[in-house]
Amino acid sequence: MENKTKQARHTFVGKSALVLTARGENEAASQIFNYESMREIRIDLVELEVKVLMTYDESYFRVFKITAKDESPEALEVAKKQILKFYNDLLNASMRLTKEEVDAIKKRQEEMIAKAKEDQKH
């Protein structure tokens, strides 16, 4: 029987940087994404992931991904809410927005999602 050690992965949205950490059996690593170097934060509601584009790179880096428990509409809706929360938290932290600005962005995102859902029905 093979003994497998589960890797521990964590994502921290800090005051000045996003930090991703991973730990294996014999090694550990951290990636630090300073907000001042972020050029774009992108969310994909189909793949349920958030990617960032940095000023020093031309490739997007996936920093967060959610997996729905199953394919039921309820589970997918919960996963979408989780990924949107992470996206909003990261956006807020990286931009140092006021509460009013964050609320306005969330409202606009909800409007965009509602419109996309409506467009898919037609």
Number of separate domains in the chain:
1
Asked whether residue 89 is assigned to any structural domain, the reply reads yes
Asked whether residue 21 is assigned to any structural domain, the reply reads no
- Asked if residue 1 has pLDDT above 50, the reply is no
User: 77: helix, coil or strand?
Assistant: helix
- Asked if residue 97 has pLDDT above 90, the reply is no
Residue 54 structural domain = 39-121
The whole-number pLDDT of residue 84 equals 92
pLDDT bucket at 91, cuts 50 / 70 / 90: confident
Asked whether residue 14 is assigned to any structural domain, the reply reads no
114 token code pair:
């509602």
pLDDT bucket at 7, cuts 50 / 70 / 90: low
Spatial contact of 29 and 41, defined as CB atoms under 8 Å apart = no
